[in-house]
Amino acid sequence: MASTPFEVGQALICDLPFRFDTYSGCSHKCAYCFVTKKNSQKNNLVEAISSAQTLKKLLSGQYSNFNFYKNFTIHWGGLSDPFQPIEKQLRRSYECLKVFADTQHSFVVSTKGKLIAEPEYLELLKQCNCAVQISMLCSEYDRIETGAPTYEERLEMLRKVSPCVKRTLVRLQPYVMNFKRQIIANFPRIKDAGAYGVIVEAIKYFKKRVGTVKVGGDYIYPLDTLRNDIKELKEEAHKVGLKFFVGENRLRTLGDDLCCCGVADLEGFKVNKYNINHLLNRDVCPECDDVLKLQGSGVAVIAYHQEAGLSRKYRGISFREAVDMELKNNHQHFLTVFGKKA
């Protein structure tokens, strides 16, 4: 399947499902990478799939399938790092930063690439309405992320970027239980470098490992075992003044907010809380944005199941109706997704 620059495939369960990518493929060579497995990119082929012009068209409403969602905060770097080494030659992300600066459209960008901390990029970031997430767990990961900057280099990136944006967060993804002590030991350093909080999500293994169980096509930590670790991580993060968010669907309620990107309260950011995460985990029904009540906005649900034949079913209804229908028809499935069923 060819890579596309944007999608809303996780809209059923995610507050920031609108994903935008400048590149496909990745040169970080992370041993655990799910994208490499999904796309069979054995040679780590990296190529540009969008440009500043693509982004301008998107934000001006020229892509009809995405008009319902274009005003929401964008998650940039959903499947590929916008600031990996190829950016130095192609500069697609730099040009997109100019568009974001001009339009003031809110975005969250996820990266490990140190180009984002270069002076010319920092100058543009200062002009943007954005939050930056940097993936970094501990120095032990350097040996399984052989194409990426080291942990210490990323800590310095965090220190440089934090004063230039609305918020920085550290992604503890994928969390491996063996490294819990090292990760906790770094919390004071992360806070000192300017991070607002951390986001934790556990690793999903492709093959059976000791202490894991199979759920769907992945091998993951048992829920009770992982819950204990996440509670400890939360306690230690709070001790040093870091906010704590959980990207692990089964334990989302352990976070300081159900929006695991940690930006729901930022002025000028627009997230969608009318999704199954909030419907299952809140006592009060979340509000639904008016645009997601419009006929045809239900198309966002199609990609979640990746099934043929759903297009006609969802194109004629609103996103709100589609979410309600999914929760009713697949209730047990979503109870399992969010850790509410053994």
How would residue 221 be classed by pLDDT, with cut points 50, 70 and 90? very high
Give the residue carrying structure tokens 């850790």.
339
8 Å CB contact between 67 and 57: no
189 part of a folded domain: yes
342 part of a folded domain: no
127 part of a folded domain: yes
Residues 153, 302 within the same domain = no
Residues 292, 209 within the same domain = no
Residues 288, 265 within the same domain = no
* Domain at 50, CATH number: 3.80.30.30
Locate 252 and state its tokens: 């989302």
Model confidence, pTM: 0.94
pLDDT at 36 over 80: no
Give tens-digit pLDDT for 65-87.
Answer: 788 999 999 999 988 999 999 99
- Which of 272, 296, 327 terminates a domain? The answer is 272
Residues 201, 286 within the same domain = no
pLDDT at 40 over 50: no
Distance of alpha carbon 187 from its chain centroid, rounded?
21
User: Quick one: average pLDDT of 163-191?
Assistant: 97
Locate 23 and state its tokens: 């590149």
Locate 72 and state its tokens: 């929401």
Residues 219, 259 within the same domain = yes
Rounded to whole angstroms, what are the CA distances from 340 to 214, 225, 258, 337? 17, 15, 15, 8
261 part of a folded domain: yes
Residues 262, 294 within the same domain = no
How would residue 42 be classed by pLDDT, with cut points 50, 70 and 90? very low
Residues 266, 289 within the same domain = no
What is the model's pLDDT at position 309? 62
Give tens-digit pLDDT for 286-325.
Answer: 999 999 999 999 988 877 766 656 667 777 899 999 999 9
How would residue 216 be classed by pLDDT, with cut points 50, 70 and 90? confident
- Measured in degrees and rounded to the nearest 5, phi and psi for residue 315 equal -70, -20
Rounded to whole angstroms, what are the CA distances from 11 to 126, 209, 272, 299? 29, 31, 8, 10
Residues 59, 83 within the same domain = yes
33 part of a folded domain: yes
- Which of 255, 272, 289 terminates a domain? The answer is 272
The range of the structural domain enclosing residue 172 comes to 6-272
Radius of gyration of the chain (CA): 19
What is the model's pLDDT at position 6? 86
Q: Give how many domains the chain has, as a whole number.
A: 2
Residues 150, 235 within the same domain = yes
314 part of a folded domain: yes
Residues 22, 125 within the same domain = yes
User: Quick one: average pLDDT of 43-52?
Assistant: 84
300 part of a folded domain: yes
- Which of 245, 272, 299 terminates a domain? The answer is 272
Question: Is residue 223 exposed (0-12), middle (13-18) or buried (19+ Cβ within 10 Å)?
Answer: middle
Give tens-digit pLDDT for 246-296.
Answer: 999 999 999 999 999 999 999 999 999 999 999 999 878 899 999 999 999
Q: 3-class DSSP state for residue 47? A: strand
Residues 243, 108 within the same domain = yes
pLDDT at 166 over 70: yes
Share above pLDDT 70 across residues of the chain, in percent, rounded to a whole number: 94
Residues 289, 178 within the same domain = no
131 part of a folded domain: yes
